[in-house]
Structure 1
Amino acid sequence: MAQKIYFETYGCTLNKGDTLIMKTILKDREFVERPDEADVIIINTCAVRLETEERMKKRIGELRKLGKKLVVAGCMSGAEPGTVLSVAPEASLIGPQAIERIQDIVDGKVKSILNGERASMTPHVMEGKIGILPIADGCAGDCSFCITKLARRKLRSYPLRSILESAKFALSRGAIELELTGQDTSAYGLDFGGKIRLPDLVREVTNLEGNFMVRIGMMTPEQAQSIIDDLIEVLRHEKVYKFIHLPVQSGDDNVLKIMNRKYTIDQYISMVKELRNKVPYINVTTDIIIGHPGEDENAFENTLSLMKSLRFERIHLAIYSMRSNTRSASMPQIPDKIKKERMEIAYKLYEGISLSIHKEYEGKNASIVLTEIGKKGSVIGRTLNYIPVVIRDSTDLGKRVNVRIDEASFFDLKGHLI
């Protein structure tokens, strides 16, 4: 009788892809929907924030009580194996860069494997009409605040051929959007000696037959700078969304040094201006951490000034969360009360800027690609610069349609078919 395995997955797209790789390797086993039905329970964990870690610890403890063979995978195993074992001493551990040896773990040949060799298998991840293509695992940076770096220690780019196979699979399943994702997409190919980089990969993907759009995922400014000319060229391609996710993290040079980010604010501003000058309508999205160690009142004001001057359409704001074993955790910390106050100020500013940008679309027509089912029967599409548009009209996913924008909120646009 085939061994019964239950998977439970948390966290980012890379984790979802890792679960699919493990399922592919274990395809001769039987996958069940409930943990109490399984012989082996595999929980693929996330540890990006402190509150996430606490939730993982609680869930590991609950699954442990079922008395099954427990395998803890994902970033918590890779970055904090001692924490996992303090909750479940008998658990087997497998790090996110060792998942291709999951069979050895499940079969009991070894108890723990935290690091592995080069990644070779690109997962097939589909979410509705979106094909998600992990292109690399790990990054080339070493940010002071990042616990993910401890779990995914090495940059491991997936082979071009494997990525293209996943892209073709997604297109054959009706994908209208291909999302290239990773911790730092602009680092793609550095571990191949730089012979092939992100723009080369994007060109190969856009050369595939089909009516689809490509979204390039998050990238670090330091690596994006090194490929900026070729990056601008591919962003101008008709099959590529005019969108770039370029986390600045702080608007203050001193805080960037403490974070171990390898660029200055002037360099970041120069890059954004060049992108906006050379790629019409480009949407530059960013991430900002509020309350990182070293962020005094002047540094916080510099961050607010950057938000006002660059007027980002979308900002992923997060209060700094202290993570064990990172350099930032050993630094003097900003009191929680101050962090929360600053977050309220920054979020209010962000909402106002985003709403004012979206208001400029009201009463105008836009071409959108329908990719997702929304709430209450609505359909969500994306403009060519990746702003979400919600429409109530009954229509099928995967279509390109023209809409009139009726209403704007800070988060999205609303419209109807024309």
Structure 2
Amino acid sequence: MARVYVENYGCTRNRADGEIMEAILLRAGHELAETPENADYVVVNTCAVKDPTEHKMARRIRELIDSGKKVIATGCLVHVNPGVIDRRVSGILGVKSIDRIAEAVSIAERGGKLVSVEDWRERSIDKLELPRLWKSGVAFVVPISEGCLNACTYCATRFARGVLKSYRPELVIKWVKEALARGYREIQLSSEDTGCYGFDIGTNLAKLLDEITAIEGDFRIRVGMMNPNHAIKILDELIDAYRSEKVYKFLHLPVQSGDNEILRRMGRNYTVEEFEEIVKEFRRRVPGLNLNTDIIVGFPGESDEAFQNTVELVKRVRPDKINVSRYSPRPGTIAAKWKQLPGWLVKERSRVLHRLRLAIAYEINRSYVGREIEVLVHGPAEKGGIEGRTFNYKEIILDSGKAGELVKARVDRTGSTYLRGTPTFGGLPHSSEQKTIYK
């Protein structure tokens, strides 16, 4: 049997896929390596959302093979642009074929090569029916669906994930209860678009949240990204669900542009006014809302006026955090065929938004100084101190704290991307579990 290391990139959804593959490998008798260096095989679970990310994935696969490792490529890149993947890989699995990971390793051990990149229309698996690897920690990712209902002209991820497939509410609830029973204190609901959850099976995200918050226990729920055109359809009941103390007051609502013509060209199916309506209602009824959004700069056809409209929207709405991306054409997408903006112009617009977003974020975070707020402690931070998440999912660095505790903390100082605080008193302890497989 082989020693295998699973290396995940991209979204939390990919992390969940990685844990599924780890559990399947263990069940098949393989050993999980602690580092790539100690592994016989490295599974590179790729992301392909942007062109620079694609280059990074291709380079990483090549580096591993050059160092003597056998590599199995999985994730979105194998659907979006398989031509950039080194031909020396020992196997290739699409996102709908991760249940074949143990088979891929076994075939590679015999000198063969499994390539399974079925189109989402040809093969569908319910990933909540597959095993997961339980690890020590505070947060647990629960996928609630795969695919989406949008057809954005710039997005290649949909080529991999396909059309919306929502997982049955009873399976989601089963996983949440199991995670809580094992000591996890934060449930991260993950999807390509949580806003359209259930539209294909006669339910919706708000109803799912109501079912989860009805579960006994002191825990928190982080809702993943939702698109405005779906969120607005269930706005009232969604906001009602958010008012539960178990739901982080965190809204990831990507606007992508502040210009309606650019939104139309992007195929986003909502207007700037609808985005602002959602934000206004959430802020009115959900105190302390932490608004995160995404903006693409340099989209084909973005004029100076259109970009300025985006700047003005940011100034009006003042999101807590903005993920600014420079547009890059993705293979097979409609927008890739259109006339592209000069690279220097895209970079300059990105810098303008970056400076603006940091200034706004710092001003917002400064308003927290001196406040005492609830924090769920996650554990040691990468750059020192103890990382936690506030009631609205802002990152806070504490001087001390035990992973899994819910504590009160006073905010002492801030940066643009984090808060810094001191615990004032503790909460319930968290008991970690050792690695095991869900049966």
- 3-state SS of paired residue (2:396): strand
Counterpart for residue 221 of structure 1: 228
Q: Deviations over 1:206-264 (max 9, x none)?
A: 12221111111111111111111110110011211111100000000011011110101
2:398 and 2:39 map into 1 onto residues whose CA distance is 42
Equivalent residues of 2:249, 2:286 under 8 A apart:
yes
Counterpart for residue 248 of structure 1: 255
- 3-state SS of paired residue (2:411): strand
Which residue type is aligned with residue 313 of structure 1?
Answer: D
1:66 and 1:378 map into 2 onto residues whose CA distance is 35
Q: Deviations over 1:305-331 (max 9, x none)?
A: 000001111111111122222112111
Counterpart for residue 366 of structure 1: 373
Change (3 A) 1:367 1:22: closer
Unaligned runs of 5+ in 2: 108-112, 425-439
Give the alignment of 1:371-386 within 5 angstroms.
371-375=378-382, 377-386=384-393
- Are 2:186 and 1:177 equivalent residues in the alignment? yes
1:31 and 1:124 map into 2 onto residues whose CA distance is 13
Q: Deviations over 1:120-139 (max 9, x none)?
A: 43645657311221211221
Q: TM-score, normalised by structure 1?
A: 0.91
Q: Deviations over 1:63-88 (max 9, x none)?
A: 4457776432111112223333xx31
1:141 and 1:17 map into 2 onto residues whose CA distance is 23
Counterpart for residue 92 of structure 2: 93
Change (3 A) 1:7 1:403: closer
Change (3 A) 1:127 1:187: farther
1:353 and 1:187 map into 2 onto residues whose CA distance is 30
Q: Percent of aligned pairs with the same residue? A: 38
1:64 and 1:57 map into 2 onto residues whose CA distance is 11
Counterpart for residue 62 of structure 1: 63
Which residue type is aligned with residue 186 of structure 1?
Answer: G
Which of 155, 159, 172 does residue 163 from structure 1 map onto?
172
Change (3 A) 1:30 1:403: same
Which residue type is aligned with residue 63 of structure 2?
Answer: E
Equivalent residues of 2:379, 2:401 under 8 A apart:
no
Equivalent residues of 2:13, 2:141 under 8 A apart:
no
1:265 and 1:107 map into 2 onto residues whose CA distance is 51
Equivalent residues of 1:25, 1:102 under 8 A apart:
yes
Equivalent residues of 1:136, 1:181 under 8 A apart:
yes
Give the alignment of 1:293-332 within 5 angstroms.
293-332=300-339
Q: Deviations over 1:160-214 (max 9, x none)?
A: 233223222322332221111111011211232xx22111211121122211111
- Are 2:414 and 1:405 equivalent residues in the alignment? no
Q: Deviations over 1:318-368 (max 9, x none)?
A: 111222221121111111111111111111111111111111122222222
Change (3 A) 1:370 1:4: closer
Equivalent residues of 2:138, 2:403 under 8 A apart:
yes
Q: Give the drift of 1:89.
A: 6.2
Change (3 A) 1:4 1:213: closer
Q: Deviations over 1:19-59 (max 9, x none)?
A: 22223233223225366776654322111121221122223
Give the alignment of 1:105-120 within 5 angstroms.
105-108=104-107, 111-115=115-119, 116-120=123-127
Which residue type is aligned with residue 398 of structure 1?
Answer: G
- Are 2:200 and 1:191 equivalent residues in the alignment? yes
Change (3 A) 1:125 1:179: farther
Which of 413, 422, 426 does residue 416 from structure 1 map onto?
422
Which residue type is aligned with residue 28 of structure 1?
Answer: A
Which residue type is aligned with residue 347 of structure 1?
Answer: H
- 3-state SS of paired residue (1:111): strand
Which residue type is aligned with residue 416 of structure 2?
Answer: F
The number of equivalent residue pairs is 412
Q: TM-score, normalised by structure 2?
A: 0.87
Equivalent residues of 1:369, 1:382 under 8 A apart:
yes
Which residue type is aligned with residue 153 of structure 1?
Answer: G
Change (3 A) 1:38 1:387: closer
Bigger Cα displacement from structure 2, 362-371 vs 133-142? 362-371
Query: Which structure would you say has the larger RCO, counting Cα contacts within 8 Å and 6 or more residues apart?
Result: 2
1:205 and 1:191 map into 2 onto residues whose CA distance is 20
Give the alignment of 1:339-358 within 5 angstroms.
339-358=346-365
Q: Give the drift of 1:374.
A: 1.7
Q: Deviations over 1:272-301 (max 9, x none)?
A: 111111222222211111111111100110
Q: Deviations over 1:359-394 (max 9, x none)?
A: 1122222222222322455122222222222221x3
Bigger Cα displacement from structure 2, 103-112 vs 292-301? 103-112
Equivalent residues of 1:118, 1:156 under 8 A apart:
no
Unaligned runs of 5+ in 1: none
Change (3 A) 1:389 1:66: closer
Which of 146, 153, 161 does residue 144 from structure 1 map onto?
153
Equivalent residues of 1:38, 1:68 under 8 A apart:
yes
